[in-house]
Amino acid sequence: MKIYIYLLFFFILISCSEEIEIETSLPSTPEDLIQHTSEFQKEVIEVTDGVHMAIGFALANAMMVEGEDSNIIIDTTGTVETAREVKEIFELINPNPISAIIYTHNHGDHVYGASVFAEDSDPEIYAHSSTEKYISRVIGILRPIISSRSGKMFGNVLPNEDVENNGIGPFLEIGKDGRTPGLLYPTKVFEDKLEFEVSGIKVVLYHAPGETNDQLFVWLPDKKALFPGDNFYKTFPNLYTIRGTPYRDLAGWVNSIDMMRYLEPEHLIPSHTRPISGKEEIYKTLTTYRDGIQYVHDQTIRMMNLGMGPDEIAEKISLPKHLGDSPFLKEFYGSPEWSARNVFSGYLGWFDGNPSTLKPLPRMEEANNIIALAGGWEKLFSIAEESFKKEQYQWALQLTDYLLLTKPNNKETNILRQSCLQALGERESNPNSRYFYLSSAALLDENYKQNNLLAPTQESINKYPIEAMLEILKVSVVPEKSIEKDIQLLFQFTDTGKKFSLFLRKGVLEIQPFEVAGSSVQVLAKEEDMKAVLTGFKSLPISMVTGSIKVNGSKSDLLSLFSSVRS
Ligand SMILES: [Zn+2]
């Protein structure tokens, strides 16, 4: 409903003589997106004998497979609170202990509920060998940006009632309503394929790169049940995610689905959306799905080879009717357009091949030129305003880029931009783009306070490897504060015995996991005390005064290093 308020404000503010036009006919949420919510009806489904799916509790499903005297959990949901809710229901079905947890991949909505499922029985946690690295990356060096972009994409910055569903689940629970993460790292990892037996259940894990490079699928040969993780769900797949992701290899994804198809499963139990049973139905559906992915991949490359750039390919690509009409390829999560751009940049990188984009004008110079063309800033503003009234929302939004670049935080432009974003968002059925627009509009509100999606707790930090935390230090060096510095320090952790040599050298921080001779400064601390300082839970000067961090040598060198990494 917010669009109407903004529109009202906008028209009153800009042109008092204008008649107020309110588009009452516009539905605030498109009907197809409302219909899609039924996909996430909250329940526990017994898919086949002893195989249960908890759906609708969280963004991702959690599954339980009953063994003879213990059970297996596949994916754990994304918080302690959602995992607890699911676990209590699973225990009513079968109270036996949990002896194995399997992560289909590293994403938080699958792994952050693990501590709850593990609390009574200390189960083995299975994952691909690269899963730990990817978990650390998201909660490590990329946390600030992934957190902010995920918050927009999932609509976690919006009031709960404004989020109809998230396309692959009802809502993202991580960071929502005070819920907390309960991450555990994998204890048993593999490379290509792993076979084992748990409580009479034969399990085969296949490495299956697709939505993520560490993705696996679970095959229970005796039950003909296959758990595809996030390589299959009932919407067009997120071959690229707008929250930001490493390149998703489409050819590998197709190959992974083909591995599943030829096992001829009778039950397909995805980590998002509902299960499917029936050998023919599953084969047909997986074939449609893999064809959708391969079509986008192959056609993008064909167009690339004809010399087209990513913008042109994105304009041209669309699924043929027989694929586009499939209920499994409706665009409630990914889109062919974003995917084509992903394929282009995955194979060719950022340069589109057009010499005019090789060294574009600085943004400010371009903005000033456009403003001059329009006849001045006020004139460009009124063109943007007119465009909005003519429902050319995208064009009006693009013009606000120039207006705001040249007059940052201009109130009238912010209101116009909010109105454009609201109008674009309201019309979107794809939840990712819908909430990205609507959240961006909400964030333009002066009084809005951003929710920190993946804000770590002190407890979670203690489980976090010190090596990964030191990586964060490297990418936080501020050149202006360090360009004159040349400091060498030795960090020595008194509880684990680990040593790290740090060299801050004119804007670059080198860190080595061993002692390099030549440091006159030794820093002695327990890992958890250093982690608390690195994450800002404790202050460095106070830790030095209380003695939790001891320095042999120049204290000012340590203070100087830390003052170089705070922006
Ligand atoms: Zn997922």
Among the residue ranges 85-94, 155-164, 290-299, the one predicted with the least confidence is: 155-164
210 alpha carbon – ligand 1 mean position (Å):
12
pLDDT value of position 157 = 86
Please, are residues 150 and 156 in contact by the beta-carbon 8 Å criterion?
A: yes
269 alpha carbon – ligand 1 mean position (Å):
13
Q: Is residue 434 located within the same domain as residue 543? A: no
Q: Is residue 351 part of a domain?
A: no
243 alpha carbon – ligand 1 mean position (Å):
13
The whole-model pTM stands at: 0.89
Q: Is residue 309 located within the same domain as residue 162? A: yes
271 alpha carbon – ligand 1 mean position (Å):
7
> What is the tally of structural domains in the chain?
3
> Residue 3: pLDDT above 50?
no
Taking the C-alpha atoms of 240, 430, 63 and 87 in order, what is their torsion angle to the nearest 10 degrees?
120
Q: Is residue 243 located within the same domain as residue 298? A: yes
110 alpha carbon – ligand 1 mean position (Å):
6
pLDDT value of position 84 = 98
pLDDT digits (tens, 9 = 90+) for 413-440: 999 999 999 999 999 999 999 999 999 9
Which CATH number do you get for residue 402?
1.25.40.880
- Mean pLDDT, rounded, of the chain: 91
Q: Ligand 1 being an ion, which residues bring their Cβ within 5 A of it?
A: 60, 107, 109, 230
pLDDT value of position 454 = 54
What percentage of the chain exceeds 90 in pLDDT? 81
453 alpha carbon – ligand 1 mean position (Å):
16
Q: Is residue 152 located within the same domain as residue 95? A: yes
487 alpha carbon – ligand 1 mean position (Å):
43
> Residue 16: pLDDT above 60?
no
> Residue 197: pLDDT above 50?
yes
43 alpha carbon – ligand 1 mean position (Å):
18
Average pLDDT rounded to a whole number, residues 221-235:
98
169 alpha carbon – ligand 1 mean position (Å):
9
pLDDT digits (tens, 9 = 90+) for 532-551: 999 888 999 999 999 999 99
Q: How far apart are CA 341 and CA 239, in angstroms?
A: 10
Q: Is residue 256 located within the same domain as residue 115? A: yes
pLDDT value of position 118 = 97
**What's the number of CA atoms in the CB half-sphere (13 Å) around residue 214?**
22
pLDDT digits (tens, 9 = 90+) for 303-331: 999 999 999 999 999 999 999 999 999 99
What percentage of the chain exceeds 70 in pLDDT? 93
Q: Is residue 254 located within the same domain as residue 282? A: yes
> Residue 412: pLDDT above 50?
yes
Q: Given strand 98-102, what is the order of strands in its sheet? A: 43-48, 51-55, 62-66, 71-74, 98-102, 124-128, 188-190
Domain membership of residue 284 as a residue range: 41-333
Q: Is residue 45 located within the same domain as residue 24? A: no
Q: Is residue 326 located within the same domain as residue 376? A: no
- Other CB atoms within a 10 A radius of the CB of residue 4 amount to 16
pLDDT value of position 25 = 38
> Residue 221: pLDDT above 80?
yes
Q: Is residue 356 part of a domain?
A: no
468 alpha carbon – ligand 1 mean position (Å):
23
177 alpha carbon – ligand 1 mean position (Å):
20
pLDDT digits (tens, 9 = 90+) for 442-485: 999 887 766 555 566 777 778 788 998 899 999 999 999 999 99
Q: Is residue 87 located within the same domain as residue 202? A: yes
Strand partners for 98: 71
457 alpha carbon – ligand 1 mean position (Å):
22
pLDDT digits (tens, 9 = 90+) for 485-517: 999 999 999 999 999 999 999 999 999 999 999
CA distances in angstroms from 101 to 56, 107, 203, 374, listed in the order given: 20, 15, 12, 61
